[in-house]
Amino acid sequence: MAYSTTSEAIEALAAEIGENIYLDIAKWHLYLGDAKLHTPLAERLYPLLQNRSLSENAVNDALQTMTVAIGGGRRQLPLAEFLPSSGQRDLMRLLEDYQNKL
């Protein structure tokens, strides 16, 4: 799939992430699109796809360094803390599929 601009490619990736990947908080599923975290995550991950440097370690690093504000911003926790293992595997598959389309 060819995108005319990097912005379009990031928006398409963000949409996929937002619809398919969720935070698991006390067994509640909050999709990243609803949490408004899909675009910042796509912006962090897209260079990995573009440079063909996608790996589980690189994705995990991105999830560890991206923080989520909780308690009205009183505390920041890594996004990785909120994604179940299955969600991280789903994200990796989603990214691999997306990279194959580039």
The token pair at 53 is 């440097």
Q: Are 84 and 24 in contact (CB under 8 A)?
A: yes
Predicted confidence (pLDDT) per residue in 42-76, tens digit = 999 999 999 999 999 999 999 999 999 999 999 99
- Dihedral pair phi/psi, residue 29, rounded to 5°: -105, 115
Judged against a pLDDT cut of 80, whether residue 16 lies above it is answered with yes
CA R_g for the chain: 13
Judged against a pLDDT cut of 90, whether residue 21 lies above it is answered with yes
- Dihedral pair phi/psi, residue 47, rounded to 5°: -60, -30
What average pLDDT does the chain have? 95
pLDDT of residue 102: 81
